[in-house]
A and B are shown apart, each in its own frame.
Chain A
Amino acid sequence: MNGVHDVGGMQGFGPVLPETDEPPFHAEWERRSFAITLATGALGLWNIDQMRHERESLPPAEYLSSSYYRIWFLALENAVRRLGLPNREGLRARTAEELIGMFSSRSSYERPITTEPIFQPGQRVRARNINPRGHTRLPRYARGHVGTVIAIRGAHVYPDRNAVPLGQESNHAPEWLYTVDFSARELWGDGADPTVTVSIDAWEPYLEAA
């Protein structure tokens, strides 16, 4: 969706404000939100693409005026409510050992695929001009622009398909994933810095030959 989360290239947010020795959490509720989000995620009731879409779907003003852990918490609160989590039978909290086991091991989204990649490194491709209402990981600033494939990353679960409505089965059917380079001049016009390139990681359905 063309949401406010897709901020790449927007202007007016002010300077980046680094903080010395920044702690991971700035308040106890942030610490708790983070832990609850991971612990409930470990119940396996939703996938990462569904939860990203929940966060993106917060009201735009709310999203932009919230810290990132607040965004996480509001999305989690919505998901818990919509799934009726407190009244669900047959669920059991993951123990400390189970959680640490999960988070200290790989959970790859790479999947076997039967097709061959359509594009090869060095090939010119155009990011399609798509505007899906649901979840997508193709940022708006790249759409319609021509770049060069610089790597094939394997076949990965396709987020646009995997972000099914909450409560539905995940769809892990993969697509080839590429890294595509765009010159800043292609993205931002002739006045852009000629020394700058920007890459995105793009699934095959996001691209067409150019």
Chain B
Amino acid sequence: MGYDDKHEHEHEHDHPEYSELSEMDARVRALETLLTEKGLVDQAGLSAVVERYEKEVGPHNGALVVAKAWTDPEYRRWLFEDADAAIESLGHVGRQGEHMVALENTSQRHNMVVCTLCSCYPWPVLGLPPVWYKSPSYRSKVVIDPRGVLADFGVSLPEDTEIKVWDSTAEVRYLVVPMRPEGTSGMSEEQLAELVTRDSMIGTGLIQAPTDTAR
């Protein structure tokens, strides 16, 4: 099995002084200090970048796109025809989201997104990728055994559902538009957006009907 962030994270708590993490802390700090002293990076700049990607940009952006596509047929059509423009109209624009394509999940077809070669991911709508998305286990397995990956997420689809895996090998970025769950007809866009999970927009999760998720 691969050595991943989760192990490092656990390691940190077990052996704070001797873990790889301490070494990494020191190395990163050394480089940051050097670059700062030489005037090549700026502390306020670094903070602003972290703030943007840790707090502001995240899957809540994509969730609003999906909720709008569920409630507004005109927007839905636009999203599948010209995702860049439709997504930008809601204010979600930026690096790693330049050539957006929206993928429609239906009862016949389920879409899943990966980047087998690195970690390409639509930042403006989903934020930074989760650790599992960047892990060799996901990147290797989803193109050869997508149903196995779904099982790892506790998801099972009917045997005859088509599964379409999109490997992001260029600068095109894909956003899965999951199916709207039953029992949500009276809900507002904002309420619907609350139901939309990050995994459902990558294709590794389904959206539960609100009765299932209510506490």
Contacts and interface: CB of A to CB of B under 8 A. Distances in A.
Contacts of B97: 106
A160 to B, nearest CB: 12
B122 interface: no
B208 interface: no
A67 B39 contact: no
Interface stretch (B66-74, B145-153, B176-184): B145-153
A36 B137 CA distance: 27
Contacts, number: 277
Interface string A84-118: 01100001111111111011111111100000000
A164 B142 CA distance: 31
A136 to B, nearest CB: 9
Interface residues of B, number: 83
Nearest to B55: A24
A128 B206 CA distance: 36
Contacts of B203: none
Given A15-B137, A67-B8, A86-B34, A32 B172 contact: no
Interface string A25-39: 111111111111011
A108 B99 contact: yes
Contacts of B93: 104-106
A99 B49 contact: yes
B93 to A, nearest CB: 6
A202 B169 contact: yes
Interface in A15-61: 15-19, 22, 24-36, 38-40, 43, 52, 55-56
A128 to B, nearest CB: 14
Contacts of B39: 91-93
B1 interface: yes
Contacts of B5: 26, 30, 67-69
Contact of A25 (B47, B54, B114, B116): B54
B170 interface: yes
A13 B168 contact: no
A195 to B, nearest CB: 5
Contacts of B169: 137-139, 200-202
Contact of B140 (A10, A22, A93): A10
Interface string B49-62: 11011100000000
Contact of B45 (A95, A177, A195): A95
Interface of B: 1-6, 8-9, 12, 21, 24-25, 27-29, 31-32, 34-36, 38-42, 44-50, 52-54, 93-95, 97-99, 114, 116-119, 127-128, 130-132, 134-144, 146-147, 149, 152-153, 159-172, 199, 204
Q: Top 8 nearest A-B pairs by Cβ distance?
A: A8-B116, A201-B170, A96-B48, A14-B1, A13-B137, A93-B42, A68-B134, A35-B46
Interface of A: 5-11, 13-19, 22, 24-36, 38-40, 43, 52, 55-56, 64-70, 73, 76-77, 80, 85-86, 91-100, 102-110, 137-139, 141, 153-154, 156, 159, 177, 179, 181, 184, 187-188, 192-193, 195-203
16 contacts: A8-B143, A11-B144, A16-B138, A16-B142, A16-B153, A18-B130, A26-B131, A29-B24, A35-B46, A39-B42, A52-B117, A92-B40, A93-B40, A196-B165, A198-B164, A200-B167
